[in-house]
Copies of this chain bind each other. A is one copy, B any other.
Amino acid sequence: MKAVILAGGSGSRLWPLSRNQYPKQFLKLRNMDKSIFQLTLERCLKLARLAEIYIVTNINYKFLVLGQIEELGYRFDENHVLVEPSGKNTLPAVYYAIKEIQKQGDDIVVVIPSDQLIDDEEKFIRTIKQGENIAGKYLITYGIRPNKPHTGYGYIKPALPLEQGYTVDEFKEKPDYETALNYVENGYLWNSGMFMFRTDIFTEEVKRFNPEVYEAFKSSDINEIYERTPNISIDYGVMEKTERVAVIPLNIRWSDLGSFDAFYERFDRDENGNIAFNGDILIDSSNNLLYTNKDKTVALIGVEDLIVVDQKDALLLCKKDQSQKVKEVVDRLKNTNNPRVDFHLTTYRPWGSYTILEEGLFYKIKRITVLPGKKLSYQLHHHRSEHWIVVKGTAMVTVEGVESFVRSGESTFVKTGYKHRLENPGKVSLEVIEVQLGEYLEEDDIVRFDDDFGRATSNS
């Protein structure tokens, strides 16, 4: 069996936790030491071998995908990371992977979004695998058994029982509350966005119901394909059209983390319905979600039904049941070119990451983490000098061609205009405090001479 992980979403409904350049699937949530994407990958490894997994994403997330897999200790084939030139919804994304898989022959494929949380993993794997028994005849969609009349999900109505699962009576869009109540009482299931099918059957149905998509993918140029293919979901484009569809119920605790309201539902609450850290002080306050920094002292007085998401550079306060409006916040921020739509204070690069600790008029302080064996580009800045203080690990520093080691507790200095490179030759992460001084301290003051990541000709 092959597995396709969809990892191209931008997660804007979870701003400011999720940012365009580092969306929710790559976040490590509170109390979790792995990201949602990493958990998804490990789950997939119980369904398919690493070499049988394909990941569809976009160019901005490619090194995040590879970096997070590397962090798990796996070596992943870069050719299995399929980079979409633009987002055209799930049908082109899935079909892109199917076409790649078909180069090695037809097979059964399971399609899994990278941004869902699943609790009972053993049951999950067992149920997903049941699909193999009917994948010779059906396109299978997995339906979650509802635990409440949720208005945020699409619904699937099962019809006649099959060897595994059911035929499908109909698909339903997100309902209002009354309708949802009716659905739940009548055995409808939540549409999970997970699928299983044979590549040949799927291709037949794409050709039949979406000839434009099918034709677009005949090109060998991926840019041309994505210019031509329409923007369409796999549900709307195939699953809701074909009569060869089956649904298998998944009776597990599941969350798509689609909004902060879903967050509130997902995490454990105290006796007053609050989700908070131990040290937080809550007076006459109930049913709140406090997603804040553990090191910060948070106090609530007389507050109810509030979602509080506090990051160093952004604070969101949102009344519960209104979290769908977070998208409106993101739209407004985009209109004012607010960089906090795209970036966290920590920016991830192929070689590691940097966090802006403080910006003054003529200085900027960053904490830089360089992954073992990685190096930054050989570069110079016209407008700033840089002081590097190594706080962990050992750095190999090159200045104007002269190499030297700078060890933990030591520091070095790069004058304005000098060519330099920072490198981690060691086996553990290198941590450096960088103090930049100058009258212009933006990222675009950089001239690259050599780069491991092909950026020597750009400013990225």
Contact = CB atoms under 8 A, between A and B. Distances in A.
Given A281-B333, A358-B367, A310 B315 contact: yes
Nearest to A392: B362
A413 interface: yes
A402 interface: no
A152 to B, nearest CB: 16
A302 interface: yes
A387 B406 CA distance: 14
The majority secondary structure among interface residues of chain A is strand
Contact of A338 (B297, B300, B336, B431): B297
B315 A303 contact: no
Given A358-B367, A433-B435, A297 B411 contact: no
A317 B289 CA distance: 13
For the complex formed by this chain, how many copies does it contain in all? 2
A359 to B, nearest CB: 8
A3 to B, nearest CB: 37
A16 B297 contact: yes
A283 B389 contact: no
A365 interface: yes
A391 B362 contact: yes
A309 B279 CA distance: 18
Given A302-B319, A317-B308, A297 B389 contact: no
Nearest to A390: B437
Interface residues of A, number: 57
A357 interface: yes
A336 to B, nearest CB: 7
A313 B296 CA distance: 5
A347 interface: no
> For A296, A312, A317, A322, which residue has the most chain B Cβ atoms within 10 angstroms?
A317
Nearest to A16: B297
A290 to B, nearest CB: 9
Interface string A419-456: 00000000000010101010000000000000000000
The 5 closest A-B pairs by CB, nearest first: A302-B319, A301-B318, A302-B322, A297-B314, A363-B391
Interface of A: 16, 279, 281, 283-284, 292, 295-303, 306, 308, 310, 312-319, 322-323, 325-326, 328-329, 332-333, 336, 338, 340, 357-358, 360, 362-363, 365, 367, 385, 387, 389, 391-392, 408-409, 411, 413, 431, 433, 435, 437
27 contacts: A279-B336, A281-B329, A281-B332, A281-B333, A283-B325, A283-B329, A284-B322, A284-B325, A296-B312, A297-B313, A297-B340, A299-B316, A299-B329, A301-B316, A302-B318, A302-B319, A303-B306, A308-B317, A310-B310, A312-B312, A358-B367, A360-B431, A365-B433, A385-B409, A387-B389, A391-B437, A409-B437
